[in-house]
Structure 1
Amino acid sequence: MKATALLAVEVSGGRSVVRDLRSQAPLTLVPRRTATASGGAAVVHLVSSAASPVGGDRVDLRVRVGPGARLRLVGTAATVALPGRGSSRSTVHIEVDEGGTVQYLPETTVISSRADHAAELTVELAAGARARCRESLVRGRCGEPSGHLVATTQVTRSGKPLLRQRIDLGDARTAASPGYLAGARVLASEVVAWDRDPPGPLSGQWWSLAPLAAGGALATALADDAVTAGHRLAEALSHHPDVEDLLVPTW
């Protein structure tokens, strides 16, 4: 299966509105029907309308946020990467113009046994743009070993790299290493490029919040289940100086 979905948000009449929306199964984009308050974010739900990714799939999501516009793109259910003929690949490319804001908050991705999946997230921020992007990865369904996943994240601002990260899951020995996942089944992370950055790194029980060298911050949490990982990630973000913006309800 090959699919491409497109989403563009602009400011019109003081409100952030969806200007272009094109869905293709399994990527279905559903905008919230209620009108966006003046200065508020346009809310779009990302719905999986078919089983995907399956081996051989190529799925592409492209998002553009115009100058001063705000978008909250929220997942509605977990994604399960399944085995098939060959590997599967999903790409998300987000561009945010000057003064724009994007919150990309998909639900958990589960890497089922024998799956071979590659996930790429690229975020390009203009000067004064803001972004927060979440990723939650689960190594295998209940009672089964994990398949293989390579997840890459690249975030730039004005062409300058803020974060380049590559996560390779699937090797049980590596995942058990104290220097990697320490045996945890779930890895949750969120990169935040907002108005302010934490003054220094912080950590707690299986979570951390670290400022990035060129601006922004990375929150990370480990757990044996997705719910606990989500709570620990929220605990990490609660120490971010812009916490009042980051922990508002996402729906």
Structure 2
Amino acid sequence: MKLLVVSGGGHPYEESTPVLEKFLLDSGHSVNISWDAGILSDATKMNQFDALIFNTKRSDETALSDEQIIGMKNFIREGKGFVCIHISGCIPDSWKEYSEITGGGWDLKESFHPPYGKVQVKISDPNHPCVIDVPDFITDDELYMGIKYKEGNNVFIYASSQDQTHQWRNEDVFMPGGDFPLGWTRKYGEGRVFVTLLGHDGLSFLNPQFQKIILNGVTWVTDSV
């Protein structure tokens, strides 16, 4: 498949994007990396791709322009695939409707997470195509909390946490325990959407089960292309 990866923004993408590119190429995909989101507004260029992969944080000074938003929405809505990794689902103040595509993502005001560390990832739906042959696994990552999820998400992985208190933005914040979805699929128009909240840094991307889930996700979102 021909894949466009848009990267860049306030995360260690200089670590993670090269790892992403390598395992996509090793799996036989054609990969174009763009650190400039301007390509999203060029329908002629976008139409050559089967799927768009976001490994990027687009908020504040890196937020998408109106033209880029329109181009991205049309690309997915008309039947192409979208893969959204980690904070790529961040909902900017300038585009609150983004969650209609993703089904939920990092909220700049309300979301939080415990310190980066070991996360026990559990399979919630072993029959979901994105976790075929993927067992429960431990990875190095962040466990996102305070996410507002939309209806229509088919969740396939999650993590559990106990009540805890951690420093967050220089304050002690109580983080209630529970089960937290970490990956799901959904539809947007005619397009298929895959979202995972995993994938903070290069080490996260090196986890073989994480890679398998991403590759399965690419297969799923492009299945109807």
When the two structures are superposed, what TM-score results if normalisation uses the length of structure 1?
Answer: 0.33
For CA contacts below 8 A with separation 6 or more, give which structure has more relative contact order. Answer: 2
Larger radius of gyration between Structure 1 and Structure 2:
1
Pick the structure with more strand per residue.
Answer: 1
When the two structures are superposed, what TM-score results if normalisation uses the length of structure 2?
Answer: 0.35
